[in-house]
Structure 1
Amino acid sequence: MKKFQLLNWVFIALMAFQFTSCEDEPLVGTFPQQENPSDGLPGAFTASINGVPFTANTISAVVFADGLFTIIGVNGSNNAITLSVPIVAEGNFILTDTPETDNFASYTDAQSAANPYTSASQTGGSGSMVVTSYDETELLISGSFVFEGTRQAADAQGSPIFDSSGDPIIQSVSITNGLFTSIPFTLDMDDGGDPGDGGGDGGDPTEPVEEFFANVDGVEHVDTSLTTTINMVGDEMIFKVEATTAAGALMRIDVPVDTGLGSFEMVSDISDGTKLIGIYNPNLGGENLSSNPGTITFTQFNLADGIMEATFSFTARDPLNQDPAIYQVTEGSFTVFFDPISLPPGVAFRAVVDGLEFLPDTTPVPPPGIADQITISSEEVNMVAVIKVAAIMMDGREMTLSFPKDIEVGMYVMGTEVVIGDEKVGAYKPAGTEMVFYSSPGTFTVQSYDLETGVMSATFSYNAVDPTGMDPTVRSVTEGEFNLTIPE
């Protein structure tokens, strides 16, 4: 997850000082009041850790091109304090890290560097900072700070520790009397949102950033490793998005490559490795727990560009009912990138109407009688080019789909008629009648569309009704899909 990339890098920063991004935070709240912050010695970074003095002998401060300010102080025992706020200026800043903001403070004990104390509000963290002097000419900054850092307790192997009720044990540390006085800072011409390439040069600011976030029983699943792999299970191609914490807790989402945009129910029983499913393992010695129930909504699913974005939630249970543990995974979201994928062409046109297959035969040699056929035409409505895909079955059934030619990848609500030109409309004519039933309601989802080649893949489903009301019959069109080339 983006906000915790900074947390992950604090461990590296003890040797190399790497930084990442935060977002704007309103300058409101309760702030540290020192009698005279300027009393600190120039170049000093000091604080009290649970009442024990902390004096940094190594200090690094950076202001990035987008205004992000990050400062790290490391003492002789390699314990570190990190502060980060957006758009640095003289004034008051909230350090409390919430899901809505990325302001940040942490204390890293060298004896447990992989599990720092942070200002995350989900576990009771909080904090504030006052920048008392910001000299952009001399490149010097001074200020004061306090914060309460919290973390989930972990054993010597890094596994989380729970109390007798099964709740995570939260440890805390109080950082008070924090001062940094006339600290030199450097200017980095890259934006702070760029995690860099590990070489200390800020990296390529155009490089995409992967993100993962989820709460487990209200406590954030802070990933230190996020991977996306594509696996072949039999003939099925499956994405596996895996986020692992420093303590070894695993969260995994398995996604069939042909899933596409939209909202879906996760599998609620044992998966054979080819199903859409959520998995959680707290690394307590047990087996994987799977979604039961669970839902996921894909807002981006672009195989050609190699990007997948989704939100999700699920209840994690043992599918064999041997482990009584149950975990609630909430507020889940991720954005991941992968190498572009080209799938074999799918079926040209298909749907199910009232439980019966609607699959035109488009082989080169048509069957006797009225040949199944698919036609694609274009007409102009209010200066908008409207595409009409028509599929005709040999038994006389007909189906059409209308949509604007410049439609983009996404999910759309279907209407009953084309009036302005940007409407998406489905129509169905049963065999043996001239009555046409139109979509109301329905959804039309463009999975992919190459405007240069005209190749489009889309799915659709709708209830088809008589808009005049003369025939009360409702036709159900489901499992609709097409893979066609839209002519220029």
Structure 2
Amino acid sequence: MKKAIILNWMLLALFALSFSSCTNETLEGEFITDETGTGNGEFSATIDGENFVATAVTAELTDGVLNLKATDAGGNVVTLLIENVGICTYDLSLQSSTAEYAIVNDNDSFSSLGSVGGSGSARIIALESEDLKIAGTFQFNAIRQVNATNEFVVVTNGVFTGVAFNLVSGSALPNECETSGGGNVDPETSFFAKVDLLEFVEETIEVTRVTVYDTPMVNIVATTANGAQIRIDIPENIGGVGTYTFPPADMPISNGAILFASYNDAAGGESLTAIPETGTITFTEFGANTGKMTATFSFMGQDPIDGGEIVEVTEGTFTIDFIENSGGVEDTFTADIDGEEYTYDSIEVTQNPFNGQTIINITTIDSVTNRSLTISFPIDIQVGTYEMSPFFTNGDEVVGIHNPNIGSSILFKSNPGTLSIFSYEYSSGVLEGAFSFSAVDPLENDPTVYEVTNGYFVITLQ
């Protein structure tokens, strides 16, 4: 039977439209150019504070993999390897996309691979499939080991424009970046329960948002063909994912602003309300910004005034969405580092391919204290709690990174830590989560441990 779904929107939340990532962008920043040029576009960077200006640039595109090599007048070389090239941002610490810096006549090059302690990112901002030219920006921290001693190099302000590439094989068309959900879809509204062991077959599900005594509430009413109803009232500020008892012992009759449940058999009698502390509801997804809510519940109902008949509601479950339009939520990020509030003045949500998957990176920067926090996870992540790792290996890991001194070569990474996804609306790309982790130097060169706690974010994938 096709159910009728009724949504009453009595309160509307207005959200600011967030910036988008992985789209065509205007190239900004300071350009360091060589007056003589390279004969193949321009390529420049700052390496440990010194200008690197290429006098020769070569590039090849092979089955979507870009190999770009730039050499300066002294013979020093910067190499970028980027897989699945598109108008996107790429993590250069991965095996699939990486960067190297080689000093002339030195045998060992510096690498941005995360497995050796490196890091970095590159952004492709233009890929001309007809003229076979490419442009982008980059920065990376690279490391090498010489005589059992780690040496570092910091590359910033990297930019290349108008670089012609040789198409070795495959297509020159840019690969598309996945925008949200990783192919997952949001479940439809549903409701199920048994009343005294008999299935409650609902005909309609009505979801209403109201405010009672300054408390925003979500009211869910499921109704059968003969008019029997199960009603559940949920405060929006209840606390999110978890298990709750309803109703409280001191409020057998609801004032409309508490967690409550009731059953009415449509036979003309009073509604049988949940007997205090006999029922529970467990939210496995609760999105204050997405409006998605999934829960299981059970309770015993009785007339709160006259007592008498007791009805038992069991095996209850529902999935609803109480916010009609969730898109355009402003990106939000909070955390404490070693017990003190972490503040930031920029936030960027980017995507990069890795091992056949798309990785989401939430990067915040505090330019005042010159530090940053990054949380990374696969785009097809689902609601739940995940153990964090210091590196990506398969592409299904969750990684946290703290950089206490931007420009230095040591990144402190999650080991251990947890990430909890509270809600993920695949259709709009709105995602809510929380995190905490101990940030350590995975190479054990610096024994400092930074404790990142009370982390929380809301983002919109574009």
Band of TM-score, shorter chain: 0.3 to 0.5
* Larger relative strand fraction: 2
The TM-score with structure 1 as length reference comes to 0.40
The TM-score with structure 2 as length reference comes to 0.42
Higher RCO (C-alpha 8 Å, min separation 6): 2
